[in-house]
């Protein structure tokens, strides 16, 4: 799966200035609702935060993949975010998070959701790709760097 086929630069937040895990997740959900014209903001946020309460989606190496499944979407949506100063996300390795990918999928569509999680983990296991994304100055630059990273592993 190519992640960049599932979202575009409008769904990229570069260097979020939010200071908590919840605030960044809210910012990402708000961006998703704005770009995709979704009216279920509170339900989306509740689904993501509910998943996050069970266990942090900070998977290590400065990466977090907050995600949820909801009944009212018909296709998977992704929002990417960088936090250059780092963010305490209660990650598994206890290190700050610098890159986040929010994935919201329809409840009955497990395959693409799992493939997206896998693609993010595979591509962003590369330290150079992570560094390039963190250093991106604009959403367009971030998106182009992600595409380049995907092509490296295509």
- Locate all alpha helices (DSSP H) within the chain, ordered by sequence: 21-36, 41-54, 110-123, 127-135, 139-152
CB atoms inside a 10 Å sphere around CB 117 = 18
In whole angstroms, what separates CA 81 from the centre of its chain?
A: 6
Contacts (Cβ under 8 Å, ≥6 apart) of 25:
45, 48, 49, 52, 66, 102
Q: How far apart are CA 106 and CA 149, in angstroms?
A: 27
- Exactly one of 31, 67, 113, 130 is catalytic; name it: 67
Q: How far apart are CA 92 and CA 94, in angstroms?
A: 6
Is 37 a known active-site residue? no
Helix axes 127-135, 139-152, angle to 10 degrees: 170
Residues marked as catalytic: 67
């Amino acid at each position: 799966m190519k992640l960049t086929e599932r979202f575009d630069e409008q769904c990229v937040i570069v260097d979020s200035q939010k200071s908590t895990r919840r605030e960044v997740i809210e910012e990402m959900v708000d961006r998703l609702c704005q770009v995709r014209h979704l009216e279920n903001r509170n339900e989306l946020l509740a689904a993501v935060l509910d998943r996050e309460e069970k266990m942090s989606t900070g998977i290590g190496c400065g990466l977090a993949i907050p995600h949820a499944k909801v009944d009212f979407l018909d296709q998977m949506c992704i929002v990417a975010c960088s936090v250059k100063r780092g963010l305490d996300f209660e990650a598994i390795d206890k290190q700050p998070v610098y890159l986040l990918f929010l994935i919201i999928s329809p409840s009955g569509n497990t395959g693409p959701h799992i493939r997206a999680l896998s693609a993010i983990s595979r591509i962003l296991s590369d330290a150079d790709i992570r560094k390039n994304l963190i250093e991106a100055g604009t959403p367009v630059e971030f998106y182009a760097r992600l595409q380049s990273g995907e092509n490296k592993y295509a």
